[in-house]
Amino acid sequence: MYAKFQAAQERFEQANDSAQFLQAAAIYQEILDAGVVSGAVFYNQGNAFMRAGEKGRAIACYRQAKRYRPRDPYLDANLRFALGNAGATPPKPVIEYILFWCDWVSYQGKFNISLGCALATFVISVASLFVKPQLLKRAATLALCLTVAFAISAVYDWYRYSHLKHGVMINDEVVARKGDSETYQPAFTKSLDEGTEFVVMEQRGGWLHLRLAGGQEGWVASTDVTVY
């Protein structure tokens, strides 16, 4: 698989036009389809899509890379550039202000820290039965608080990353409808631009029921979006 990653990198570095950048993105997709999921693969695939002019697909890749590389300044810069004037971005939920650390640690990192703190709580609690009980009980309480905090954050990550489905427009001037057919009236006064992000509410046949950042809802053809 490392050889395939190298091949994708070489294809990207040698690319001179959109078609060649898309070939690099396709190789990265083969890596993902093989089960090798990482921030590096999503990040590089996003770069390939961006150079190919596929802004919507690039945004989807960068969003997924953020789950694994939450503090990468290069990723943040590329995502901001890709968003540009792509329309309204999803507002930050209140819970993310409460769980202010939720974007400091990766999705998997939260689970690992939770398990580590839980183990530390158990070990310290047992040790407090024999050595300096007051001091160790305080340490156990601190470890327990950290366990709960990171466990809640991990559950929230599961909800926003696994339970919810997100999507991005990959075409320009997409007309959202009031139902799952071209026969329905437009849901909005303006068409949706490439790069517009949304949450998937329902999928019915070749149509998706979506909710935009401002709360507006409509239906679009699945061929106009990428979902992750």
In order, the DSSP letters of 133-195 are HHHHHHHHHHHHHHHHHHHHHHHHHHIIIIISEEEEE-SSSB--BSSSSTTSPBSSSSPBPTT
Residue 88, pLDDT > 80, answer no
Strands 197-204 and 165-169: antiparallel
Number of structural domains (the chain) is 3
Q: Does 89 fall in a domain?
A: no
Lowest mean per-residue pLDDT among 35-39, 79-83, 135-139? 135-139
The pTM for the full model equals 0.87
Six token digits for residue 142:
């601190």
Report the C-alpha gap between 106 and 110 in whole angstroms. Answer: 6
Mean pLDDT across the stretch 76-87? 86
Note whether residue 113 is domain-resident.
yes
**Are 17 and 79 members of one domain?**
yes
State residue 86's pLDDT score: 63
Query: Cβ(107)–Cβ(94) under 8 Å?
Result: no
CA 174, 176, 181, 183 dihedral sign is negative
Q: Domain range holding 46?
A: 2-84
pLDDT at 133: 76
What mean pLDDT is reported for the chain?
92
Higher pLDDT, 109 or 82: 82
74 and 98 assigned to the same domain: no
Which pLDDT does position 134 carry in this prediction? 82
Task: Kindly state the average pLDDT of the residues 94-112.
Answer: 84
Q: What percentage of residues in the chain have a pLDDT greater than 90?
A: 72
Q: Does the pLDDT of residue 62 top 80, yes or no?
A: yes
pLDDT at residue 92 above 90? no
- pLDDT of 80 > 90? The answer is yes
Could you tell me if residue 130 is inside a domain? yes
